Structure 1
Amino acid sequence: MKIAFYGSSLVSSYWNGAATYYRGLLKALAGHGHEIVFYEPDAFDRQKHRDMDEPAWARVVVYEASPEGVRSAAAEAASADVVVKASGVGYADDAILEAVMDAARPGAVKLFWDVDAPATLAEMAQDESHAVRRMLPRLDAVMTYGGGDPVVTRYESFGARACHPIYNALDPDTHHPVAPDPRFAADLGFLGNRMPDREARVRTFFLEPAAAAPDKTFLLGGSGWEPWQTTDNVRAVGHVGSGDHNAFNVTPKAVLNVNRESMAHVGFSPPTRVFEAAGAGACLITDHWEGVAQFFAPGEEILVARDGKDVAEIMGWLTPDCAARIGRCALDRALRDHTYARRAVEADAILRDLARIKTHTGAAA
């Protein structure tokens, strides 16, 4: 099937946390015989910060961030068998959603792919005229990259015909063990862009432990953190391109995952960073969220902290040998259960079922 996918960016991870998810999942879907065209706006300087060439498994169309650019890109949805509008494009999201669904042919499968379901659902609850909420009756399904049953139930309560979580995962071709890099030497590293509902949790889980352990070194990566008040043992390195993520994850003794507040509250939302770290064989400390044990075994394949004191305590007893052992277990589990190849089997089955339903019923959603 030909899939027209309208998202933030496939070729740039700059201010684009969904890049790893899109790359891993769409590459694996292409392996099932799908023809994929990814449409992304020329916005937020992402094209100036490309960290990936156009892949062999997808065609990338970069369109002008203007009403005319949206109309032109959306018109191409008419030739697709599956039309996907993802959340978080960042430019004219509502207009893109309406334009591509208007352009899609009646027999096409129409999907909203939510890469931040907690935020979208909160907005929908506050605004009955929310574009996604209004569009749900016209969509065949909602796909999400996390959230589990709480997100599925909530979406269905708003009128979604179906909601299917396709979780983040590991692409072992891009995220894998590498040699340590002195640029990223530290006891604990954290990599993530500065976001309003993450900032307070980063203070709690990263800065407070750093202040409590002046004898240890802490590495802060990601966009938006400078200038930020930190202690002398915290080193900020700014944006880290995807090509350096393996080295960033494997070099510190341990790396930290801090979910945004909304995702931690909903649970069952492992971010791409969790699987990137596991793929590199890193020892990962994560903030607590419901459902973590569904993906990695706490204490064996991942370490879980409920607050900054837990992080500080872990860093006090964690030895290099223990960290290496946990990292190896995480890598083994990710390769066994959490690759994008496995996720694509789920997604492919859903897409083909939806296409069969539309063909048999003659639905013109």
Structure 2
Amino acid sequence: MAGLEIAFFGSSLVSAYWNGAATYYRGIIRALAMRGHRVTFYEPDAYDRQKHRDIPDPPWARVVVYPATEDGLNGALDHARGADVVVKASGVGVFDDELAAGVLSIRRPDGLAVYWDVDAPATLAQLDAEPEQPLRGLIPKYDLVLTYGGGPPVVTAFKALGAQACVPIYNALDPATHHPVPFDARFFADLTFLGNRLPDREARVEQFFLDAAGRLPDKRFLLGGNGWHDKPLPGNVKAIGHVYTADHNALNCAAVAVLNISRESMARMGYSPATRVFEAAGAGACLITDEWVGIETFLEPGTEVLVARDGAAVAEHVAALTPERAHAIGQAALKRVLAHHTYEQRAVLVEALLSGTDAAHFRHVEGV
């Protein structure tokens, strides 16, 4: 098939600063580019992200940074007019409602408009709590809704809002970006957690990570991410602030185990593996995750991932882990994600959906 011209409006492709979706965008878009599609990524100059870039403008996408103003938004929309596919991602952070309507306004008569939700559980909760949200009336006008995860509950909810079609495009691994690297003593820990301090995450970090640290005073715990600098922490927890993506592999490879903690809305919805799950598995790390429905769709509990219902269970896993078992779990996870969960595989489904190909044989709503 001929390559598509895709205009993609998102938070940021070049900066992961207060932007957990960055590696998801990079993985999907790079894989689409490898399949011959041309993506222009439009991002606002907001939240100091341009001052904290992780990567330069990549060769596999054109990046357009527009002023975080109404005029800047309108100029970006005019620039994107004429694309085969126009994508509005959730959580851009600047003029989201106006952008959701604007993307529809520039859709070609023979083109597609896609709403791509990178935090569907939170979006759906907000729409439920605020019935007057403009997005509620716009969802049925999009040709397709894609989501970062969520499985059957998310598909059902979006269809109830009038979505013409809704398909989860799960996080995955880009092996060129996340992979095993030599040990780096800077990041040594018995358990590492990486995530920004957010309202619906903080209590769960206390429950799963800080509680476990309190139970294991002789173990070392490492906490990465923005916002934790003024959080009271146990003495065996070291907060290191924002970790640039160039250090993610070293961070994951230096820990005995890496912890994934889903935000509350994602854990409640299920089928929502964070990018960190695949980044850690891609580095061959031993992953411990909070318990959520659908984990076995991605990794096998007990052999490819350890599952914990609370901080006490996290502490039990950490205390029982030997280097040999941690290595075996990490290698099993690496093998699984390389075989079944790469962005190259996700891009095949996205391409089929955007090109109008019958994607029924690709589509497994509970996990692709």
Q: Which category describes the TM-score, using the shorter chain as reference length?
A: over 0.9
Report the equivalent of 2:310: 307
Report the equivalent of 1:361: none
For residues 31 and 227 of structure 1, the distance between their equivalents in structure 2, rounded to whole angstroms, comes to 43
User: Is contact 1:6-1:40 (8 Å) kept?
Assistant: yes
Matches within 5 A, 1:176-255: 176-255=179-258
**Alignment equivalent of 1:123, drawn from 115, 121, 126:** 126
Counterpart AA for 2:211:
E
**Secondary structure of 1:187's match?**
strand
- Aligned structure 1 segments of 4 or more residues deviating by more than 4 angstroms: none
For residues 208 and 358 of structure 2, the distance between their equivalents in structure 1, rounded to whole angstroms, comes to 45
Give the CA deviation at 1:355: 11
Give the CA deviation at 1:231: 0.9
User: Is contact 2:103-2:113 (8 Å) kept?
Assistant: no
Counterpart AA for 2:51:
K
Matches within 5 A, 1:87-126: 87-126=90-129
**Secondary structure of 2:87's match?**
strand
Give the CA deviation at 1:91: 1.1
Counterpart AA for 2:136:
R
User: Is contact 2:352-2:358 (8 Å) kept?
Assistant: no
Report the equivalent of 1:154: 157
TM-score (norm 2): 0.95
For residues 26 and 201 of structure 1, the distance between their equivalents in structure 2, rounded to whole angstroms, comes to 31
Report the equivalent of 1:362: none
Which whole-Å deviations, capped at 9, do the CAs of 1:197-231 have from their partners, x for residues lacking one?
Answer: 00000001000110111110100000011111111
User: Is contact 1:109-1:354 (8 Å) kept?
Assistant: no
Q: What is the Cα-based RMSD across aligned positions, in Å?
A: 1.2
**Does residue 1:31 correspond to 2:22, yes or no?**
no
User: Is contact 2:89-2:117 (8 Å) kept?
Assistant: yes
User: Is contact 2:6-2:39 (8 Å) kept?
Assistant: yes
For residues 168 and 289 of structure 1, the distance between their equivalents in structure 2, rounded to whole angstroms, comes to 16
**Does residue 1:271 correspond to 2:274, yes or no?**
yes
**Secondary structure of 2:181's match?**
coil
**Alignment equivalent of 1:16, drawn from 16, 19, 25:** 19
Matches within 5 A, 1:51-70: 51-70=54-73
Report the equivalent of 1:363: none
Give the CA deviation at 1:176: 0.1
**Secondary structure of 1:253's match?**
strand
Distance 1:216 1:53, change over 3 A: same
Report the equivalent of 1:293: 296
Counterpart AA for 2:129:
Q
Give the CA deviation at 1:127: 2.5
Which whole-Å deviations, capped at 9, do the CAs of 1:304-343 have from their partners, x for residues lacking one?
Answer: 0000010011111111110011000000001000000000
For residues 354 and 99 of structure 1, the distance between their equivalents in structure 2, rounded to whole angstroms, comes to 27
Which whole-Å deviations, capped at 9, do the CAs of 1:83-120 have from their partners, x for residues lacking one?
Answer: 00000111111111112221222221001000000011
**Secondary structure of 2:240's match?**
strand
Give the CA deviation at 1:354: 7.3
Which whole-Å deviations, capped at 9, do the CAs of 1:257-308 have from their partners, x for residues lacking one?
Answer: 0000000000000000000000000000000000000000000000000000
**Does residue 1:320 correspond to 2:323, yes or no?**
yes
Which whole-Å deviations, capped at 9, do the CAs of 1:111-135 have from their partners, x for residues lacking one?
Answer: 1000000011111112233222111
User: Is contact 1:108-1:355 (8 Å) kept?
Assistant: no
Higher mean displacement: 68-77 or 337-346 = 68-77
Give the CA deviation at 1:78: 1.6
Question: Which consecutive residues of structure 1, in runs of 5 or more, have no partner in the other structure?
Answer: 357-365
Give the CA deviation at 1:137: 2.3
Counterpart AA for 1:81:
D
For residues 6 and 151 of structure 1, the distance between their equivalents in structure 2, rounded to whole angstroms, comes to 22
Identical-pair percentage: 59
Matches within 5 A, 1:46-85: 46-85=49-88
User: Is contact 2:82-2:106 (8 Å) kept?
Assistant: no
User: Is contact 2:200-2:264 (8 Å) kept?
Assistant: yes
Distance 1:71 1:355, change over 3 A: farther
**Does residue 1:343 correspond to 2:346, yes or no?**
yes
User: Is contact 2:257-2:326 (8 Å) kept?
Assistant: yes
**Secondary structure of 1:84's match?**
strand
TM-score (norm 1): 0.96
Higher mean displacement: 249-258 or 120-129 = 120-129
Counterpart AA for 1:345:
V
Counterpart AA for 1:351:
L
**Does residue 1:260 correspond to 2:263, yes or no?**
yes
